[in-house]
Amino acid sequence: MSLQTLEFEGRSSVKAELNYLAPTHERPRTYTFEPPPGVPWTTMVNEPHGVHVRDARPILSDISVDTQGFGLVRHSSAVRNFYDDEEVKRVYYPESERLLKDLTGANRVHIFDHTVRRRVPGREDRRVGPRQPVPRVHVDHTVKSGPQRVRDLLPDHAPELLRGRVQIINLWRPIRGPLRDAPLAVCDAQTVKFEQLVASDLVYRDRVGETYSVTFDPEHRWFYIPDMRADEVLLLKCYDSKTDGRARFAPHTAFTDPTTPADAPPRESIELRTLVFHAGG
Q: CA–CA separation, 212 vs 168, rounded Å?
A: 14
Name the pTM for this structure.
0.92
pLDDT at 125: 67
Which helix (H) or strand (E) segment holds residue 208: the answer is strand 208-214
pLDDT at 281: 67
Tell me the Ramachandran region of residue 69: left when phi exceeds 0, alpha when psi lies from -120 to 50, beta otherwise.
left
> How many CA atoms does the CB half-sphere of 62 hold within 13 Å?
15
- The answer to whether 28 and 201 are in contact (CB under 8 A) is yes
Query: What is the per-residue burial (b if ≥16 Cβ within 10 Å, else e) of 53-71?
Result: bbebeebeeebbbbbbbbb
Q: Which of 115, 6, 105 is nearest to 55 (CA)?
A: 6
Encode pLDDT of 190-233 as tens digits.
999 999 999 999 999 999 999 999 999 999 999 999 999 999 99
pLDDT at 11: 57
Give the pairing of strands 184-187 and 222-224: antiparallel
Give the pairing of strands 268-278 and 108-118: antiparallel
3-state secondary structure 214-236: ECCCCCCCEEECCCECCCEEEEE
pLDDT at 280: 75
Q: Which residues pair with 173 in a beta bridge?
A: 270
> Which domains does the chain show, CATH number per domain?
13-33+42-278 (2.60.120)
pLDDT at 124: 76
Single-letter residue type at 197: L
Q: CA–CA separation, 242 vs 266, rounded Å?
A: 38
Tell me the Ramachandran region of residue 34: left when phi exceeds 0, alpha when psi lies from -120 to 50, beta otherwise.
beta
Largest CA distance in the chain: 53
Q: Which residues pair with 171 in a beta bridge?
A: 235, 272
Q: Would you call 175 helix, strand, or coil by DSSP? A: coil
pLDDT along the chain (281 residues), means of 10: 41 92 94 92 96 96 97 97 98 98 96 95 77 95 97 97 97 97 97 97 93 98 97 98 96 96 96 94 67
